[in-house]
Amino acid sequence: MAKMTMVQALNLALKQEMAADDRVVLLGEDVGPDGGVFRVTDGLIDAFGSERVMDTPLAESAIVGMSIGMAIYGLRPVCEIQFSGFSYQAFHQLENHAARMRWRTQGRLSVPLVMRAPYGGGVRALEHHSESREAYWAHTPGLKVVIPSGPRNARALLVSAIRDPDPVIFYEAKALYRAFREEVPEAEETMPLGRPQLVREGRDLTMIAYGALVRTALEAAEQLKGLDGIETEVIDLLTLAPLDQELLAASLRKTGRAVVVHEAPRSFGPGAEIVCRLLEEAFYYLEAPPVRVAGFDVHPPYFSRERWYMPDVRRIVEAARRTCSG
Amino acid sequence: MPRHRLVVPDTVEYLSILDHQGNLDQELEPHLGDEQLIELYRAMLLGRRFDERMLDLQRQGRIGTFPPIKGQEAAQMGAIINLRPSDWFVPSFREVAAELWRGRSPESVLLYYNGFNEGTLLPAGQRDLPMAVPVGSQILHAVGLGRAAGYRGTDEVVLCFFGDGATSEGDFHEGLNFAAVYRTPVIFVCQNNQWAISTPLKKQTATANLALKALAYGMPGIQVDGNDVLAVYSATREAVERARNGGGPTLIECITYRIMMHTTADDPKRYRTEEEVAVWQERDPLTRFAAYLQRRGTLDADRRDQLEAEVLAQIQAAVERAEQQMAELGEPLALFEHLYADLPPNLRAQREELRTTLAAADKEVRHG
């Protein structure tokens, strides 16, 4: 198996899906000869031509709105928004139309589009380039929100997202794009949407994370073991909506303690929903109040102060020790 | 350094075939047979009478808020009759006459406006989008459909409706730009009914007219008398043919007027005068078309009465069917259907929650 970065793995997913299904088309700003600003679509215009890899004018609402029309017609558009911070200009198309079309037509029309967008901090980017606002999408009935945490699951989840009959917001942590390589099989691989994964077993504490922070959580788990002998179970959510709490609750019943980690602002963020579900499902198993380690309720700081905003190993370890000490 | 006038080769035309009294410009008369003309008249009449009946029903509390179409029947029907069934129809929210022409049942319209999402059900295989409430947002879907048609190598076209207010939305500008760049087969029909709720056209745009906005995007634009069904038909026909032959999109501005309120929740007396309305009532598209048909010898008083009776009977039957369906539909558990292709576990749980609530409420009614 070849070792790939997440960018290469995503490229492989797109390339194979396009080869297998001529309904799959790509569109977005600079996705053609330039290969996208992060090069995820690199070389695809050479392989599939400009009819299938469409460089669009600069207009996010139109990119998504046009994708809705193409999806209704039966194509499988995968549109790229260069940075999630610019996806808000397409918000109303997703909220008002993509998320509702199946519902408002009693299942006659559906919108099987994927909106890919790099999200989150960690690469010292410009203003408006580091937001982690996935809660906006997860709050919208009818949308699915998928966030991979590494090359291999990014490839498999993107294939599944493209084949999914519903609109999928596919958030790619740009901190992960080239952070590390992983073995990715050439042969087709898919992963079910809406199914979290246990990535580390433990008996003392449940840690729930997604995207770039799964790796941070795993590092924290390692430190906790070394420092305090705390055995941490780490769950990678992979899909934020629809959110499946079964695995999460089962883990909490075992450990009695939970820490939820995300980059999104803390208030009304995904952590609030996850903790609430844990309380509903496994309240009587709790040994201590669940804790959120999240971004502060401020806009992501400009790059030199960015590291004080994003949850890091130190903050996660501190929170975990606090919740385990009671 | 030079400073000189740029040559802008494009222009927009204004087209009118029937004047306000229904007098014909014979040179411009389109080739429509008697049967087609009667069919067109009947469709406009159905739109008008159904609209009037809906207003009565709304005032009686038998349906909810809706946007009346009165006065805009020509702008809708003149355009829509150019579509083949395999073409795509993308409405905004004031195209009931065109929707009925495309095969939507009047009872589904009543169901929808009474709050039953079952009323959104379109005929199977119909290439129509459901109405779009967010102003102008559907324009982009039309462009996507046109792009997909191009990708599939078909000769299908897309007819997209919107109002004058929509031309201020970003989606209008993005949509027309994309349509022209990709040369999509989309006909953009702007029903300029002069008012976006209480905002008059002169406060909506600083351009001399809306048709000329087409020039900024690199597509043909034309302004037509939107209360003249023959003018709307001819302009749309030309645009449809151009689109079908690979000539790309067209913007058609139909000058028309919303005789009634924006929606039944609106009171137009707050922002416009009765004198203004009276002027437009004299330009009624239906009486004008009837006058033309009468002069042509296509429609006499008897036939007119017969059509009137037919249409009223059709509407009455639809109202009765709709009210029966509403009584039968009952439980709102259908709210959970069709949100996703497969219902996720948390929604299954929420559906059960509602089912329990409904059962408890039933019990209360029975025992309380």
Q: What is the mean pLDDT of residues A171-176?
A: 97
Residues paired with A144 in a beta bridge = A168
Q: What's the pLDDT band for A36 if we cut at 50, 70, 90?
A: very high
Contact of B339 with chain A, judged by CB distance below 8 Å, is answered with yes
> Residue B142: its chain A contacts at CB < 8 A?
69
- Residue B302 C-alpha, separation from nearest chain A C-alpha, in angstroms: 41
Cβ–Cβ contact A244 with B under 8 A: yes
Question: Rounded CA gap, B241 and B36, in Å?
Answer: 19
Grouping H, G, I as helix, E, B as strand and the rest as coil, residue A244 is coil
* Whether residue A120 has pLDDT greater than 90: yes
**What one-character DSSP code corresponds to residue A75?**
-
In angstroms, the CA B179 to CA B186 distance is: 7
Which 8-state DSSP code applies to residue A294? E
Q: How far is Cα B112 from Cα B120, in angstroms, rounded to an integer?
A: 6
Contact criterion met (CB < 8 Å) for B147 and A141: no
Q: Which of A27, A52, A72, A73 to mutate to test the interface with B (most CBs of B within 10 A)?
A: A73
Say if residues A84 and A119 touch (Cβ distance below 8 Å).
yes
What is the chain B residue with the closest CA to A113?
A: B144
Q: List beta partners, residue A239.
A: A146
Instruction: Give kind and range of the element (H or E) at residue B261.
Output: none
CB A72 to CB B129 under 8 A? yes
Distance from B223 to chain A by nearest Cα, in Å?
Answer: 25
Distances (CA, A) of A164 to A111, A192, B233, B276: 10, 10, 41, 53
C-alpha A320: how far from chain center? 23
Overall pTM surpassing 0.80 (yes/no): yes
Tokens of B220: 């043909």
Reported as a single tens digit per residue, the pLDDT across A76-109 is 999 999 999 999 999 999 999 999 999 999 999 9
Q: B161: part of which helix (H) or strand (E)?
A: strand B158-163
B338 noted as active-site residue: no
Concerning whether B271 is annotated as a catalytic residue, the answer is yes
Q: Are strands A291-295 and A258-265 parallel, antiparallel or unpaired?
A: parallel
Question: pLDDT of chain B along its 368 residues, tens only?
Answer: 789 888 887 889 999 999 988 899 999 999 999 999 999 999 999 999 999 999 999 999 999 999 999 999 999 999 999 999 999 999 999 999 999 999 999 999 999 999 898 888 777 788 999 999 999 999 999 999 999 999 999 999 999 999 999 999 999 999 999 999 999 999 999 999 999 999 999 999 999 999 999 999 999 999 999 999 999 999 999 999 999 999 999 999 999 999 999 999 999 999 999 999 999 999 999 999 999 999 999 999 999 999 999 999 999 999 999 999 999 987 788 889 999 999 999 999 999 999 998 888 877 766 65
Report the DSSP beta bridge partners of residue B195: B200
B355 vs A: CB within 8 A: no
Q: Count of A–B CB contacts within 8 Å?
A: 142
Say whether A142 and B340 touch across the interface (CB within 8 A): yes
Q: Which of B147, B258, B283, B288 is catalytic?
A: B258
Cβ-Cβ contacts under 8 Å for A16 (sequence gap 6 or more): A159, A188
pLDDT > 80? residue A176: yes
CA-based nearest distance B136→chain A, Å: 11
Interface predicted TM-score (ipTM): 0.91
Residue B368: predicted pLDDT: 57
Mutation to test the A interface, candidates B86, B120, B340, B346, most A Cβ within 10 Å: B340
Scanning A224-243 for CB atoms below 8 A from B yields 242-243
- What region does A212 belong to: left with phi over 0, alpha with psi -120 to 50, or beta? alpha
The helix or strand, by DSSP H or E, that contains position A2, with its residue range, turns out to be strand A2-4
- Other Cβ atoms less than 10 A from the Cβ of A311: the count is 24
- Taking an 8 Å cut-off on Cβ atoms, the answer to whether A69 and B140 are in contact is yes
β-bridge pairing B250-255 and B221-225: parallel
Residue B137 to residue A144, Cβ atoms within 8 A:
no
How many alpha carbons lie under 13 Å from residue A40 in its C-beta half-sphere? 33
Structure confidence at residue B264 (pLDDT): 95
B147 touches chain A (CB under 8 A): yes
Torsion, CA B74, CA B10, CA A62, CA A8, rounded to 10: 150
pLDDT value, residue B366 = 63
Check B94, B127, B237, B262 and give the catalytic one: B262
**Contact B340/A at CB under 8 A:** yes
Give yes or no for A165 touching B (CB within 8 A): yes
As a whole-number percent, the residues of chain A with pLDDT over 70 amount to 100
> Which member of B141, B340, B345 has the closest CB to residue A72?
B141
Please judge whether B177 and A62 are an interchain contact, meaning their C-beta atoms are less than 8 angstroms apart: yes
Tokens of B188: 């953009």
Q: How far is CA A216 from CA A175, A311, A324, in A?
A: 11, 8, 19
Q: State whether residue A207 is helix, strand or coil.
A: strand
What is the CA A195 to chain-centroid distance, rounded?
A: 13
Nearest by CB to residue A103, choosing from B134, B139, B339, is B339
Distance from CA of B344 to the nearest CA of A (A): 6
Backbone torsion region of residue B16, taken as left when φ is above 0, otherwise alpha when ψ lies between -120 and 50, otherwise beta:
beta
Per-residue pLDDT, B363: 77
Give the residue on A whose Cα is nearest the Cα of B112: A104
What pLDDT is recorded for position B122? 79
Cβ neighbours of B88 in A, within 8 Å: 73
CA distance A93 to A116: 15
| Phi-psi map region of A211: left, alpha, beta (phi>0 left; psi -120 to 50 alpha) | left
Query: Distance between CA A274 and CA A239 in Å, rounded?
Result: 12
